Structure 1
Amino acid sequence: MKALCWTGINSLSVETVDDPAILNDQDMIVRVSSTVTCGSDLHLLAGYVPAMRAGDILGHEFLGEVVEIGAAVTRHQVGDRVVVSSFIACGQCWYCRNSLFSLCDNTNPQPGIAETLWGAATGGCFGYSQITGGFAGSHAQFVRVPFADVGAFPVPESLTDEEAVFASDAASTGWMGADLGGVGPGSTVAVWGAGGVGQMAARASMLLGAEKVIVIDRIPERLQQVRDWIGAETLDYSSTEVLAELREWSGGRGPDVCIEAVGMEAHSTRPDFAYDQLKLQLRLQSDRPTAIREAILAARKGGSVFVLGVYGGFVDKFPLGALMNKGLTVRGAQMHGQRYIPMLLDRMVAGDLKTGHLATHILPLSQGPKAYDLFKKKEDGCVRVVLRP
């Protein structure tokens, strides 16, 4: 089969690789019909996430048709159209039983790297380096889906691929940030990042009852999407002072909930961006934490901050004093897709949650390197690229 492979830092190639096969009786094979570029893939592309190997297949957000099932799969049949959670969960361990699916104890066969870096391993994830298990990704014609009854969900006929595919990761991740971040009726919420995840976090906040939601970014096309499709307010950080604007916008207190949906390659006009960029290039730190610093400083006293953006290692100048003295609650997680996907599909059908606009570009898999070039450079108004194998 054909697959989009990482071949080195900032280097991708469409290669011919072995077809996947059923390895365990809870596996199934899915023929991929749509798979999406994700901002966290850019961290892999640039070499900031450890344990990438030449030939690794990228991609973790996807939808497709079931073509083969293992003997123990009972919820799916050949021919079903399914959307698959990007993180793999067994459904039986302590973490899965407590709906913390991305922390599954049984789906990462290579836990040593994560245990060394983070003290414990996450669950497995499609196409996200050896640190999350080395699973082949979804930018391919076929994917093996472990624990298929737990992580794959039937797609309602009324939804297009371009709508439903975002339940796989972007919508689930965004909703998780609003939910676990504590958004509720009357909340004021600020979201850093107007990409797919940030837009979904903003919309989730609104649907959970937030009174005010503002999304912070600098890319005009993304901010316009927020206004047109999400219905939230926007703030261009390149032309204003974010902390002052947020204080004025929230009656002098600061937002109740700050959701950081940017991650380790954050950009900023603040002086600390140049500092972070230099340290990153010298490999003296692994991540640029500009956005999460700002979110912690912006949050009201006693408020909460949720980290949705992916971080890989260690950062400098973390505002621990602000976190402690302001009495903040800070949480973060990789997405618990199994917890949210069925509900999100229902909301898409009902028209509460719009996602199709995120697919600004649709290209064949053979143009995967071009897709990532567009996506990384944010050219031609690109928000997300859907690849069709």
Structure 2
Amino acid sequence: MDHENHRYKVVGRAAGSNHAGRFEAHSREAVNDGWERDDVLPVLRTQTSIEVPRKVITYNTSPDLPFDRSINPYRGCEHGCVYCFARPSHAYLGLSPGLDFETQLIARPDTPDVLRKELAGRTYRAAPIAIGTNTDPYQPIEKTHGIMRRCLEVLSDCNHPVAIVTKGSLIERDIDILSDMARRGLVRVGISVTTLDAKLSRLMEPRAPAPARRLVMIRRLAAAGVPVRIMASPVIPALTDPELEAILQSGKEAGARHASWIMLRLPREVSPLVQDWLAQHYPDRAERIMNRLREMHGGKEYDARWHRRMRGEGPYAEVIAQRFKLAAKRLGLSGHAPPMRCDLFRPPVLPGAQLSLL
């Protein structure tokens, strides 16, 4: 459904437009012909459709990623973070990376069953699976579909390691599984905290839990023995960068064991969305922010090259990197987490399969 062809009252969304994706031959723009009253427009609601996947484990060979495989239980994300680098992926579905990304969601309820089949494959070899690296597995619709919990049950049953990234407080529902997996060295969780300012967070991450709530998530996971990493991601020049040390300090006090950071990334359609958002909410520093980003990417708004896309280059990037390094060391958050165990993995037994005698 192309919302550019309709007029809606947009409430609690970060994207300010819904332009067609880069693969679409035509684009549409909603225009008031004088017959519609703004005060009686319908509210733009979240809609969810179902996808039946043939495969769910996606492999990558990126040298700057700490994992080579991932799972996405959902496409699109209702948290609606304006800066989300996954927005361009919606264009592959014939949907807009703008409002469609946060309102036209796709659930994949068969993911746990397909995952079990893939893990049972003869040639499969265990290595940590990342979940939440594209769209959040604990976004609000997980409460209805429960796909993430069932994926964890599959992984736990066969002792398979998993690394989770989320902003969603619904992860607390699964502490029973996560704490049990943690005792076996099978899980790590990263909680993203972009800012400690609740007002700023509500503007750029309109349907994600407030920063204070995410710190509570860290505290509860840590108390249950789940290793947690505080993620200062993304760092936005001249907007959130002054908070870097305070974010790490708050994460440490909540119980985080490690920390990481990523610079703001503006691939493809994300750049105009963020620039429109800055012009609306922070016009006094929009130009300064964009100039900083261009300085780090050789005059471009984004550089997709490996080892450069997440941190940038140049004096400003080096200053942020040094600030993070010093703060993480002072707080005891530096260093790498110990590797998760892969040696415990036992392939799941599919219904009807012959059981091993050993």
TM exceeding 0.5? no
TM-score normalised by L of structure 1: 0.28
Q: Point out the structure with the larger strand share.
A: 1
Q: Rg: which structure is higher?
A: 2
